[in-house]
Amino acid sequence: MKLCRVGAPGAEIPAAIDAQGAIRSLAALVPDLGPEWLAPERLAALAAIDLARLPLVDPSVRIGVPVAGIRQFIGIALNYRKHAEESGQPLPSEPIVFTKAITSLSGPNDGIVMPPGSEHSDWEIELGIVIGTTARSVARESALRHVAGYCLANDVSERHWQNFRNGQWNKGKSFDSFGPIGPWLVTADEIPDPQALAMELSLNGERMQASNTSDMIFSVAELVSYVSQFMTLLPGDVIVSGTPGGVGMGLKPPRYLRQGDVLRLSMDGLGTQTQHVTMAGR
């Protein structure tokens, strides 16, 4: 099942994608796709709906963040071998965890607005993991039971703020618009193996990243289990699980986003994103 939220920012309604790829409104049945609707029994009830009987939504409508009321937005660094290599870093012995402000969340096709004067804004295609039930100190073997589904994500990063402003990565990760996710929350039953998803990101039509989640150092199950050891994961929380090689910082010479650039991201089963880049104040 593919769930989404559509409409103007702050006025999104819940929706689902039918078998023909059309958007169907769930607004008459569900107040919003908040954390409480990610519980297994709620998702089962949504899956039982005959979408063909629900109103069609204009396909040109804006697509928003697929889950309302996200409370924690967690990132994982250096979780792909080639990205660690291009960054000049050793492979981590355990996951490197940081946070992104929830105010950085945006729809999959919303614009990326670089902070004033930015010369080091960068792209990072990632698999997003959406928690469905509270996870606290869970074992790796049972970790995936706590996952409601997956989404495509772009962990946009301002490298100067990330690397040269006293070492706190969340500074470079948390600007408004730096967390596009979606277009859909794809429920876990449609992604039987999250470690077998091909992904690709292009900049102005030029392919920059192409990889597969099989290159992850730490699997989805390992990440959920690990993070749950030191913080309680709540329904609706999103973990973006690391990016493969091919980010702008790793190129020789480095290449960063500029006003007018267009990013396009895609991942098996999780849809596509298209983002136009602007500079704040312009």
DSSP string over 6-32: ESSTT--EEEEE-TTS-EEE-TTT-S-
Per the structure block, which two tokens stand in for 210? 């192409």
- How many C-beta neighbours within 10 Å does residue 46 have? 18
- pTM listed for this prediction: 0.97
Contact indicator for 263, 156 with CB cutoff of 8 Å: no
Q: What is the DSSP letter of 216?
A: B
* Chain centre distance of CA 51: 25
Query: What does the block give as tokens for 68?
Result: 């309302």
Start-to-end Cα distance in the chain: 39
Residues 106, 179: contact at Cβ < 8 Å? Answer: yes
Token match 């913080």: residue?
231
Q: What is the pLDDT of residue 73?
A: 98
Could you identify the residue written with the tokens 């470079």?
A: 172
* 107 and 64 Cβ atoms separated by less than 8 Å: yes
Per-residue pLDDT of the chain (282 residues; tens, 9 = 90+): 999 999 999 999 999 999 999 999 999 999 999 999 999 999 999 999 999 999 999 999 999 999 999 999 999 999 998 887 877 888 899 999 999 999 999 999 999 999 999 999 999 999 999 999 999 999 999 999 999 999 999 999 999 999 888 877 889 999 999 999 999 999 999 999 999 999 999 999 999 999 999 999 999 999 999 999 999 999 999 999 999 999 999 999 999 999 999 999 999 999 999 999 999 876
Distances in whole angstroms, Cα of residue 42 to Cα of each of 48, 206, 237: 10, 41, 17
CB atoms within 10 A of CB 69: 15
Please give the CATH number for the structural domain made up of 67-279: 3.90.850.10
State the pLDDT at residue 282.
Answer: 65
